[in-house]
Amino acid sequence: MSRPEALFPLFAELETLPGVGPKAAKAFEGLAVMRPKDLLYLLPYSGVDRALRASVRDVVPPATLTVEVEIGQHVPPRRKGGPYRVHVRDRKVEFLLVYFHARAEALQRLLPTGQRRLVSGKVEFFDGIAQIVHPDHVLRLEEAAEIPAYEPVYPLTAGLTQRLVGKAVTGALTRLPVLAEWIDAGLKAREGWPDWAEALRAAHAPAGPAALAVTHPARLRLAYDELFAHQLTLSIARSRLRRAKGVETVGTGALRDKVLENLPYIPTAAQSRASSEIEADMAQPLRMNRLLQGDVGSGKTLVAFLALLVAVEAGGQGVMMAPTEILARQHFEGLAPLARAAGVRLEMLTGRDRGADRAMKLEDLAMGRIPILVGTHAVFQKDVEFKDLRLAVVDEQHRFGVAQRMELGAKGAAVDVLVMTATPIPRSLALATHGDMDVSVLDEKPAGRKPIRTAMVSAERLDEVIEHLRKAVAEGRQAYWVCPLVEESEVVDYASAEERFRALRAALGERVGLVHGQMPPAEKDAAMARFVAGEISVLVATTVIEVGVNVPNASIMVIEQAESFGLAQLHQLRGRVGRGEAASTCLLMYQPPLTETGMRRLTTIRDTEDGFRIAEEDLAMRGAGDLIGTAQSGLPRFRVADLERQASLMALAQSDARKLMHDDPDLSGPRGQAARALLWLMDQDRALRLMSVG
């Protein structure tokens, strides 16, 4: 498990590099550079053309100019703090070098009158005369080679200069060891990628702007290394999960047939496809680790229930877990009719179950008398034991990380795991965050789901909207009214939920309720329950209602200051209506004038209901980190790779990593050993520890 010896020089202290002292080493931490190997991946983001020109006349100021000059007279400043000027002449024309706060004797030494020097810097016109203020370089002619024709520009942080970073990078590049190739030979040849060391040298010595593009072969190769290391880590985690022997769970189909016969509709092709993928996985002797990804209303519940029935048909048990009690109850109510059709007992267990009631359920579970359980995280508690748990279905993945997936696995000898998420994630991101899982996608709406009419309304028409609501409520319809933030703050002129609640109550009477993040959970649950029961007609809410709540009678969604929400949020909120018989409407209220981005966001939502298209657009507009909320995104931080623009590279890296793990599960062959070195370089050596444990 020890680090390969060839890498030692790259893991030395930063201070072993030329020009890096303790202060600079501290400053480098601001760029997440701790070791020489980190400098290799600190790539220049732009460059300066320093090609030698014959004269100022060859460029159009303001521009960078590198030119050979003869030094003329020095003109010291007339008053303190004024400019110090040095007259110089190139082949065609005379111009000035200008310094402020400079010491005369130092400048005399740097620029001796009558001698020739190479100067490089930004040339500008001032009073009709060309001048370079504080040249970047002044060199003797024999030192000309020190200026590259195209000079890389690095990201900086306080305490670092371009020269210092450039020098340190050059030092790190001299330590590149000879490493065996970890990229598949066929792939590397097909893509025309350079070797690792060659790619690094090329990336740090760009020949021109084209070499800085993400599409340049050297950059593509380095981005691929990064994505490949990431996917290899996920593959190792995945193969460890799978190596833990699973149980072959093969159903008879008897219970599923009963449910399908009783359905008032025919499942979509996507539902049938996902069901057979899950069924095939469960029949394997390996543990299933699958993500079921489907938009709001794509019918995930049915697919999940059919999977739970496979476990029951095979003589085992299944559990479905939700993040909150409200959601667990909704799953329970949604599954109840299906369970009745199958003739299978369905029970629910949450933190609220106490005393004799709970003891009874626990005994029934342990004896195997409860085939299917729905619950919150309470099913994790020590005293909850199953007789033969085969499948765990988990709702809403991002609140449930890899660690919990493993913890769940401990409940049964080798529980198959199916994770459901209603957040459509573009493929590249799904691979970055769930690369250890296999993915089934529900990309069709079941028949009978009515489209939702979406319209944009200016906030100036608030009175019309309230009038429209009054009529709808009189007809017995229900509506959500979503506000942005709760707290009144001087800085942000957001209509607070409290205030909107009072205004709507004044206009529409008692049947208006309120839920927001600052309320005690019990009050929130009570308000939600009254809305579900139909005692409240209009529910004023902050975004707490995004996840999961199902109120089929609610057919109107008003989103205030819609321009301040993200696309994915808007899409999730709109998905709360359109679940019942009535035609549904979603009103996007905005504060004019709209910014270009705000406009683009709202028109996207207005024009499509396809969650995957919306997610792709969101990714294009906001970037990967924001899309899943960087704090809890679990999104890896890539230095070279660009998830937005290199989605196809991620898919390639995933299939390549899985193939390598399949051919060489211990990474002990030649390519496997090479890949181990890559994992060390990318700080993914945790994965190697996983392997040695597994």
Residue 134 tokens read as 């504080």
Q: E strands within 258-306?
A: 289-294
Please tell me the distance from the alpha carbon of residue 282 to that of residue 386, in angstroms, as a whole number.
18
Assigned superfamily of 452-608: P-loop containing nucleotide triphosphate hydrolases (3.40.50.300)
Hey, which residues does 454 pair with through a beta bridge? Answer: 586
Q: What pLDDT is stored for residue 658 in this prediction?
A: 86
List Cα–Cα distances, 526 to 139, 439, 503, 521, 650, in angstroms: 77, 36, 22, 9, 45
Local mean pLDDT, 10-residue blocks, the chain (694 residues)? 87 92 92 92 91 89 92 91 92 94 89 94 91 92 85 90 91 95 93 96 92 92 93 79 74 94 89 95 88 80 95 95 83 91 94 88 95 86 86 71 54 75 66 71 73 92 93 92 62 59 91 82 82 91 62 89 82 82 90 87 87 70 43 57 77 88 90 93 77 51
Does domain 51-147 fall under CATH 2.40.128.110? My reply is no
Q: What is the pLDDT of residues 402-441, one digit of tens each?
A: 555 555 555 555 688 898 887 666 665 666 666 667 788 8
Q: What pLDDT is stored for residue 624 in this prediction?
A: 43
Q: Per the confidence metrics, is the pTM higher than 0.85?
A: no
Domain boundaries, the chain: 5-47+156-213, 51-147, 254-442, 452-608
Q: Which long-range contacts (CB under 8 A, 24 or more apart) does 281-284 make?
A: 281/416, 281/438, 282/248, 282/249, 282/250, 282/251, 282/307, 282/310, 282/311, 282/314, 282/390, 282/391, 282/416, 283/248, 283/249, 283/250, 284/246, 284/248
Q: Which CATH code, of 3.40.50.300, 3.30.70.3420, 3.40.50.2020, 3.20.20.70, is assigned to 254-442?
A: 3.40.50.300
User: Are 254-442 and 452-608 in the same CATH fold?
Assistant: yes
Q: What pLDDT is stored for residue 491 in this prediction?
A: 37
Q: What pLDDT is stored for residue 458 in this prediction?
A: 94
Q: What pLDDT is stored for residue 411 in this prediction?
A: 54
Q: What is the pLDDT of residues 174-195, one digit of tens each?
A: 999 999 999 999 999 999 999 9
Q: What pLDDT is stored for residue 632 in this prediction?
A: 34
Q: What pLDDT is stored for residue 434 in this prediction?
A: 66
